[in-house]
Chains A and B, each alone.
Chain A
Amino acid sequence: MNEKLKINRRHFVKTAGIGLAGFPLIANAFTRVAPSDKIRVAHIGTGNMGGAHIRWFAGFPDVETVALCDVDEVRLGKARELLVSRKSSANPDLYSDFRRIIDRKDIDVITCATPDHWHALVAIMAFESGKDVYGEKPLSFSVKEGKVMLESLKKNDRIFQLGTQIHAGDNYHRVAEIIQSGVLGKIHTVRLWKTGGTSGLGFPANETPPKTLDWNMWLGPAPYAEYTPVKCHGTYRSFFDYSGGVFADFWCHIADIMYMSVHPKGLSSIDARGEVPNDGIADTPKWIDVDFKFKDLDVFWTTTPPKVPGAEKMGIGAHFEGEKGTLTCDYENRVVSIGNETTNDVPEVPKTISRSPGHQRNFLDSVKSRQQPESNLEYAREMTLPMHLALISFRLKRKLQWDSVKEEFVNDPVANFLLSREYRSPWSLPVY
């Protein structure tokens, strides 16, 4: 644990006793593994993924879950029950306003599983208050948010792990090893896909939000909108006001293996095509195909699997085309073709990349070691960026030219306007 973290830890003083209260620094040096050295975690957003966070983190002996937060009272109550069912000793403080958690000096880590339009601000406010963050994907709602998040992380010397848990699996590590070994030759093309897209969701009338839901807080920095249930829990990603559809949901999971393996650089153009559903209020892609041009690498995203062997059975996948061979993979499986031979592995490629101890464990270890984890913010931001740009191309219905050094579209003020979104008062992004 770093010094700052420890000094801030009010609970330590409480449990270590009055005698040591004046000497926390000295005391800390001797209590590295003491029970009081637990990482104190709060979970913000307790829906589907938030529930997974609660279960995952409750399973670590060096974690104490001290607070839960949700703008929906019903969900918050269920989250508490879930936590207690996992750890009967747990007695979390419950909040509807995450700022009460940000204010607490005795919390080391927050996990964030809010809707996408809240991700950046929650993380930045946590960084500013000296907390580390395990944040759900996608990283951000806009390109600008990703930038400010990274600035804030660096300024505050914080740890961040993006919740792309597939990253930690053996398969992705092995795929990266095989590709980086050069047995496939230089990779010139990558095809990524995810089947399915946003469905229309019909035309439900606006309603008064339930009394148990703080709809205004749910909206937060997003534009004011009347409430209707499909805009909220579970299906909010169908709306550009809060996310970018199935594409935004899954891009990072599968683009992750491309960035792990070949780390594309020098993005220069983005050309998206697709359609918005016409049978409902949802406005994100029903389908989307995107051509990306990186330096020495063509990347294609499609909503239907590409015509390569094995792809038709994969709902999500990546296909790497090299000069000597190809590799097709999804989260768990991989198929390598070199010449006429098709196998699941290339045994002569040595194991060179150390395996993750698990995505959440990797993060907790980083909280202690102060070394950034595998899906750290710098990496996650680079990986997320093309997703945002593709959605801008989709919305503008035209090909866009990108300056990867300046990180802006070339002579395109309208596209550049969409790189950020002004927050609704009273929320704002800090300026560093």
Chain B
Amino acid sequence: MKVKRLLILVAFWGFTLLGFAQKNDGFTSLFNGKDLSGWIMPGKVPGFEVADSVLFASPHNGSELFTKEKYGNFVFKFEYLLSEVGNSGVLIRCEPENPWNSGVEIQLLAPWTPYRDDLHCTGSIYGHVAVTNRPDETTGIWHTMEIKCDRENVTISVDGKVTTVANTDTVKSMQGKHVAGSIGFQSNHSKEGEFVKFRNVFVKNMDSDPDYVSKGFYHENAGFRSQAHDAAEVIGVPMIGRLSEMMSGENVMAQAGAKQVLFDIVAKVASDGTKRERNALAKALGKEQKSSRSKAVKSYFEWLLKMAKSAK
């Protein structure tokens, strides 16, 4: 009884601690209002500074600002304010060394500058996908933007209204683009004296949600399957039940992916995991080994369990 109560208590603490780190809706703040921790500016001239608790970009063509963390599938939301002829943007799924080649830019632009058509205005995937519902482009006031990358589906909203919907698999110019990477803010890309401000920057990483990641194992596009495999490996032990289900299921694609990822998780946790993680691993594997009805799956879990237990 005592043990049980303690467990409940620990679970409760866990929940509340989580509540501090993340908002209840699964969003994590990426900007603390004080400094640029969690971000990198690889360029020579810094393009951003923190002023009055907001991200402020005024140097002309200074360095872009990128998250250290890489994101594949996510909801990224923030508020922005452009100066009168401001020009900036958000880079997604990009490599900071090579952002426009590896990823794409969601445009943030004052409406009366050149190249302001629907393919290059605020909310467009700059040069690749036009807005279908042009947003309010008033400068000098705060707007909200939300960018959702859900595998091949990219949805962009400004001030709560969807402006752009793209299926990246069908956009010719986007073939070969990365499916994961940093998220970046472009520095002031207008002339000297213009600026852009950002605040309330939040991300929800969908690749840390086991149910979301599981769906990726069934994706027709091999790139998104690999992305799901990588994400599952990062999640680790909490994926094991779902991977076991996939292995016992009918979908050969998911079977094969699950088999591989199970090996990767066990190899990683057994090699580098803490004692607690290794115990959780052995427990999860033992459960699947006992409950599995397929002969092949059962023997695979037996083997994985032995591998997990080989590390003392």
Contacts and interface: CB of A to CB of B under 8 A. Distances in A.
Interface of A: 203-206, 223-226, 276, 278-281, 283, 395-398, 412-418, 421-422, 424
B16 interface: no
Contacts of A415: 271
Contacts of A416: 310
Contacts of B310: 413-414, 416-417
A403 to B, nearest CB: 17
B252 A417 contact: no
Q: For the complex, would chain A's binding face be called helix, strand, loop or mixed by DSSP majority?
A: loop
Nearest to A225: B296
A203 B220 CA distance: 11
A398 B271 contact: yes
B51 interface: no
Contact of A413 (B223, B295, B312): B312
B299 interface: yes
A247 to B, nearest CB: 17
Contacts of A424: 299
A223 B303 contact: yes
B252 A205 contact: yes
Given A223-B296, A225-B296, A281 B252 contact: yes
Interface in B221-269: 222-223, 225-226, 229, 252-253, 255-256, 259-260, 263-264, 267
Nearest to A276: B260
Contact of A204 (B225, B252, B263): B252
What interface size band does chain B fall in? 20 to 34
Contacts of B226: 278
A413 B266 CA distance: 13
Contacts, number: 57
B158 interface: no
A106 B259 CA distance: 45
A206 B251 CA distance: 10
Nearest to A418: B307
B27 interface: no
A280 B263 CA distance: 17
B259 A283 contact: yes
CB-based closest 5 A-B pairs: A417-B310, A203-B252, A281-B256, A278-B222, A413-B310
Given A283-B259, A414-B271, 13 more contacts: A206-B252, A224-B295, A225-B296, A278-B229, A281-B252, A396-B271, A413-B310, A413-B311, A414-B267, A414-B270, A422-B303, A422-B306, A424-B299
A205 B260 CA distance: 17
Interface string B200-235: 000000000000000000000011011001000000
A417 B306 CA distance: 8
Contacts of B225: 278
With a 10 A CB-CB cut-off, give which of B256, B271, B300 has the most chain A CB atoms.
B256
With a 10 A CB-CB cut-off, give which of A278, A412, A416 has the most chain B CB atoms.
A278
B271 A223 contact: no
Interface of B: 222-223, 225-226, 229, 252-253, 255-256, 259-260, 263-264, 267, 270-271, 295-296, 299-300, 303, 306-307, 310-312
Contacts of B270: 413-414
A223 B222 contact: no
A418 B266 CA distance: 12
14 contacts: A203-B252, A205-B252, A224-B299, A280-B256, A395-B263, A395-B267, A396-B271, A397-B264, A397-B267, A414-B270, A414-B307, A417-B306, A417-B307, A422-B303
A413 B222 CA distance: 33
A397 B222 CA distance: 21
Nearest to A421: B303
Nearest to A282: B256
A398 B310 CA distance: 18
Contacts of B253: 203
Contacts of A421: 303
Nearest to A200: B222
Contacts of B229: 278
A278 B225 CA distance: 8
Contacts of A224: 295-296, 299
A280 B225 CA distance: 11
A140 to B, nearest CB: 18
Nearest to B255: A281
A281 B251 CA distance: 11
B301 to A, nearest CB: 11
Contacts of A203: 252-253, 256
A225 B259 CA distance: 12
Nearest to B310: A417
Contacts of A414: 267, 270-271, 307, 310-311
A54 to B, nearest CB: 34
A71 B267 CA distance: 34
Nearest to A203: B252
Contacts of B222: 278-279
A281 B296 CA distance: 15
A319 to B, nearest CB: 32
A110 B55 CA distance: 76
Contacts of B256: 203, 280-281, 283
